[in-house]
Amino acid sequence: MKEEKNVVRQIPENKRHSYTFSGKVYPIKEWLELGEKLFGEDRTKWRFICPSCKNIQSAETIHQHNPQIIDDDSLKRIHEQFVYFNCEGRLNDKYGCNWSLGGLFRIHKTEIILDDGSYHPVFEFHTKSLETK
Ligand SMILES: [Zn+2]
């Protein structure tokens, strides 16, 4: 389990639109505010839905499914970079699929704009049935 640190994919910097997109676009600040409103301040509990297989995931559930991941860097990456960008099947094929928004096909419905003007695709928040389990 030594290679886990490299499993999580980083969002490329300064990625610009090079494809047609007709979904929702949020400035990063609004997106973070919306997440907080929906799920609270603890971002490990923010729930996202995979646009491909509809798997619902949060950093917390991903950690529950992968208890072997214990180092702080990997856990931090899961909730700061992985959970809204990759289906958890990329870490553990027992759950979800291997979809990543870094791939060729564009089926996502939400993007965020960072302060530098760059656009980044993200998974949609899962807003139904917020009870745990
Ligand atoms: Zn999936």
87-116 pLDDT, tens digit each: 999 999 999 999 999 877 788 899 998 888
Q: Which of 37, 41, 46 is CA-nearest to residue 125?
A: 46
Question: What's the pLDDT at 118?
Answer: 83
User: Residues of the chain whose pLDDT is less than 70?
Assistant: 1-20, 129-133
**Quick count: other Cβ atoms within 10 Å of Cβ 44?**
17
C-alpha 93 – ligand 1 centre gap (Å): 10
C-alpha 50 – ligand 1 centre gap (Å): 5
C-alpha 126 – ligand 1 centre gap (Å): 13
Sheet holding 119-122, edge to edge: 24-27, 110-113, 119-122
C-alpha 107 – ligand 1 centre gap (Å): 12
Question: What's the pLDDT at 10?
Answer: 46
C-alpha 100 – ligand 1 centre gap (Å): 8
**Quick count: other Cβ atoms within 10 Å of Cβ 116?**
8
Question: What's the pLDDT at 9?
Answer: 40
Question: What's the pLDDT at 116?
Answer: 86
